[in-house]
Amino acid sequence: MNLETKWLEDFVALANTRSFSASARQRHVTQPAFSRRIRALEQAVGVTLVDRSTTPIGLTSEGQLFLVTARNLVEQLTESLGHLRGLSMANEALDIVAAHSLALSFYPPWISRLQKGLGELPTRLVAMNVGEAIHVLREGNCDLMLGYYDPFATMQLDAEVFPSFSIGKVNMLPVSLPDAQGKPLFSLQHDTSVPYLAYTQAAFLGRSVRMLLKNDPLRMKLRTVYETAMAEGLKGMVLQGVGVAWIPDFCIREELKSGRLVRAAEANWDIPLEIRLYRCSLVHKPGVERLWRQMMKLPRDFLQG
């Protein structure tokens, strides 16, 4: 196999722009020349990497898999040249994607605790929904992903390709605004219809709630009055007295303590979840490798706080 580095860089650019013309401009070549180089790469690896039948163009399943390798090779070469030129990348920030609720309420205390055990750890954090985060991780566009794990409702990731650390436990609690007596304004224990604040269909946390309610008559009492993908959005609506929602406990700890929110049902309606930190084993960025080795040496109770 005879591969040219510029072909790999071309392919990474095409995966980012999903456009032959935009990629050609980015790579400072004509579009016909750029197209010939992508064809040459496909001939060299022996498979079709690009699905040219769609607009914008997409990658074939082989192309998606090869993209991780291509990015890895380009990054390693860039890094090696940087070291040779005396441009140390030892302190390069790690790119982390995380579910919105984790980015807002879980990440700050967790990364602070981790740095106390490992030392300074430069990071860049981007919040997005779990489905998008998994896509970004699979395509090699981030170093680490912070997400929820539910064995009954999760979008499974191959454990060999995407190893993970369990770094926390969380319960999703059904909560309501209290009435004047401190009782839930809306209770799941009653027989009456309950206004329900739901996660959107694609939201990961919504899958977990739907699994809980799937075969339970309680779901017939829930009258959906509002939907959003974000736990913080549901929390805001619960605080306005609009209805009941299942919200991760770390998002509402202060509100429960102060009595601004109360449980809408007993603990048997809680949903236990894990919080995990994922990486892609096909990517060998030194900072990620170093962090993974260091985390393996930390006690489990320290990782999970």
Q: CA–CA separation, 41 vs 47, rounded Å?
A: 9
User: What pLDDT is stored for residue 17 in this prediction?
Assistant: 92
Sequence spans of domains, the chain:
5-84, 94-167+274-303, 170-271
Q: Which two tokens stand for residue 139?
A: 């395509």
What is 5-84's CATH topology?
Arc Repressor Mutant, subunit A (1.10.10)
Q: List, in sequence order, every residue forming a beta bridge with 178; answer none if it has no partner.
A: 184
- Over its length of 305 residues, how does the chain's per-residue pLDDT go in tens digits? 577 888 999 999 999 999 999 998 888 788 888 999 999 999 999 999 999 998 889 999 999 999 998 988 888 887 766 655 444 444 578 999 999 999 998 999 999 888 887 888 889 999 998 888 888 888 777 899 999 988 876 566 788 888 999 998 999 999 999 999 999 999 998 768 899 999 998 888 998 999 888 877 777 789 999 999 999 999 999 999 999 999 999 999 999 999 999 999 999 999 999 999 999 887 777 788 888 888 888 776 666 65
Number of residues that make up the chain: 305
Was domain 94-167+274-303 assigned CATH 3.40.190.10? yes
CB 271 within 8 A of CB 246: yes
- Which one of 3.40.190.10, 3.40.50.720, 1.10.10.10, 3.40.50.300 gives the CATH number of domain 170-271? 3.40.190.10
**94-167+274-303 against 170-271: fold identical:** yes
Q: Which two tokens stand for residue 119?
A: 């030392």
CB 215 within 8 A of CB 154: no
User: Token pair 């919080």 is at which residue?
Assistant: 275
